[in-house]
Structures are given as structure tokens and as C-alpha cells.
Amino acid sequence: MTSSFANRIGIEHPLIQAPMAGSTTPALVAAVSNAGGLGSLGAGYLEPAAILEQAEEIRRLSDRPYAIGLFVLPDEFDADMKAVAQAREQLDALMAREGLEVRTGLPARWAPRFSDQFAALCEARPAVASFAFGVISPVQMRELHQREIHVVGTATTADEALAWADAGADSVCVQGAEAGGHRGTFLHDAEDAMIGLFALVPLAVRALAQHAPKVPVIASGGIMDGCGMLAAEVLGASASQLGTAFLACPECSAAEPWKRDLLDASEHQITTIRGFSGRAARGLRNRFVEAMPEAVAGLPYPVLNALTAPLRRAAAAAGRGDLLSEWCGQAASLARPQPAAELVARLMHEYRLARRMPVT
């Protein structure tokens, strides 16, 4: 049950709770880490001070290794203000039709500065730093390695896995098409990088074996139980990263309507969505997705993400899951609502049982 990744990090189980930005809490991260997995703080939306505060809370709750995940973005963004005005008008009209009183506004910044977030991550000094949306610079990679922080890069193709290996990543997390939330694609169009996990894992393993044999592969996308973890391992993965499986945990900060909707979700309801953030992401096709005009969906990330934030907060407060960004993976209805530590134990029990099953 040991793996090269688990051994390097010093964790008991080859299990990572995905860094789901906006849904992870220090309590969730600590619970998973204390149970022997690797808890991950999704910090992509957090200001630097909040990253440090939440990292401190995690360390108060746990002395085990944990991870912080960030989105690799430029520090500054140019926005087409005419398109922004049109999007605001359409979003405000949608909120009015749906009975929500909150309206859009122009934020001081479209997103936190990545360089400032990165500095906070270095100061927090987690055992692991994971990244999506792009590759960090050589200087940033050196800064992390000087602090003995293990670097995990997110890839959606074998070419992206190699790009991370060339950049000096210690591990690569391959994100299959089944994965929920934002796509980590950075070398291709998102639509061209929707590769099923059980095709992607062996492709990435083969590519890295030839190019960077010491870089382990982590499997992510649609894994909801211990059998799925073992299947990924058989294909060459050193660990499995699960996100949707933890969304229904009480320690997760996902809105309660979102948690309830996951359990009733049909697999054909889960689709690729751009209308909430401007970047391809996987989640439930709900009222918002069906009502959102294409003009709004055409705004880039993080501009659209900032504009829809008031709507998402108001929808959560009103119990309107149908207006939320209900991110989830392909097998969302397999989620088990139970405390995170119990879920980790259950997953590893299933994993052990699957290992003992005879081959027929």
C-alpha cells in the first residue's frame, strides 16, 4: 500500500483530497491529513493574508503533511470593458428574473495577484504545492525546492505532463475528462484535452518513463471509491486525487443545495461549462447554465468569474443550487455524505478489499 509519492511526502495512504478552490476548509484539509491522506487547501481565490491565516489554522489542527493549490495566472489582466458592461447587464437581468436582489459590480481587482499568492505559499511552507492552468517559472520552482516543498503540476495531456517534468516538478497530477471543476489545460484548447483518465494515465506514465522516470503520476478524475484508486494504480498511478468524493463531507464548505444536488445527479447532467468563470470547468447543467447567454460565457477568466461572484453568493444564501457553479466529477452521485476522516478510512478499506479480490 506504499507508493513512491506517499513515501516522498511522508503520508500513510496514496490518497490526496483535491485542492478545490472555494470549497476546501482548514477543517477538511486537517481531517484528511490526520487520517493518513494528503489534505489540500484550494487557495486559487484567496488573498495572500487569507492563505497565511488558513495555513496557520491547518497547522493548529494537524501536524501532518498538507498541500496548498494555486492557479498559475498573470498578475494583471486586460478586460474589454464594453463586453464587461454587456455581461453585467445580462447577469443583472438574470438575477432580477430569478428574484435575487444583489447586482453585479466592478471589483478592485479581477483576481488576487499570483505573485503575492505565491509568496504567501512560500511563507506558509506546506509539504506540497500544487498548480493548475500553467507551469511556474524556473525561479519559482527553485524557491519551492529551496524550501523543500514538493511540487505537483496538473496536466491534461501527456505533452503537458512532460512540460511539467521539464520545468522540474516532483510529481504530475493527470486530470482526466471525468474530473470536476476547472480544467487545468494550458498547452491545448480545453475541448482537445478531454481525455478519459484510464487512457491518460498509461499515456502519461509511458511518456514520463521515457523522459523523466523518477516523476510519479497522480490520477485525478471520476475516482470515487477504493476500487477506482486500485484501478488507477494498476495502470501506473502512484496515488489518486479525489475531489468530488469529499464535496459531501460536513467539513467541506460547498453550499448545502450543491451537496444535495450531487447525490441526485445523473451522469448525463455533468457537462463542460464556461458561463460561470470564462474557463472550461466540469459541473452540473443547471438553471444558470441553460439560461446564460453566449455573450457572457465568452468573457475570459478571471473577469467573468469576478462578475458572477455576487450571483453565486446570493444564490447560496437563498438556497438556490440551480444558480450555483455546482462543480463535480462524472460520478458525482456516488458521493458519500460522511465526515472526512471516516471517508478516508472507508476508501482505504475498499482499496484493501479490492487488492484481495481474485482475478477471474
| Residue 292: all three cell numbers together | 446564460
Distance CA 228, CA 169 (A): 25
| Cis peptide bond prior to 107, omega within 30° of 0 | no
Q: Which of 93, 145, 156 is nearest to 122 (CA)?
A: 145
Q: How far apart are CA 1 and CA 12, in angstroms?
A: 8
pLDDT tier at 357, thresholds 50, 70, 90: confident
Closest by CA to 255, choosing from 203, 318, 339, is: 318
Calpha distance 11→348 (Å, rounded) = 13
In the chain, at which residue ranges do the beta strands (DSSP E only) sit?
Answer: 15-17, 39-42, 66-71, 128-132, 150-155, 171-175, 181-182, 217-220, 239-242, 270-273, 281-284
Whose cell is 481525455? That residue is: 195
pLDDT in tens, 281-290: 999 999 999 8
Q: How far is CA 336 from the centre of its chain?
A: 19
Mean pLDDT of the chain: 95
Work out the pLDDT band at 292, boundaries 50, 70, 90. Answer: confident
- Please tell me the pTM assigned to this model: 0.95
Q: Is the pLDDT of residue 333 over 70?
A: yes
pLDDT in tens, 127-178: 999 999 999 999 999 999 999 999 999 999 999 999 999 999 999 999 999 9
Percent of the chain residues past pLDDT 90, beyond the cut = 94
CATH code for the structural domain at 4-73+111-246+337-356: 3.20.20.70
Beta-ladder partners of 281: 182, 273
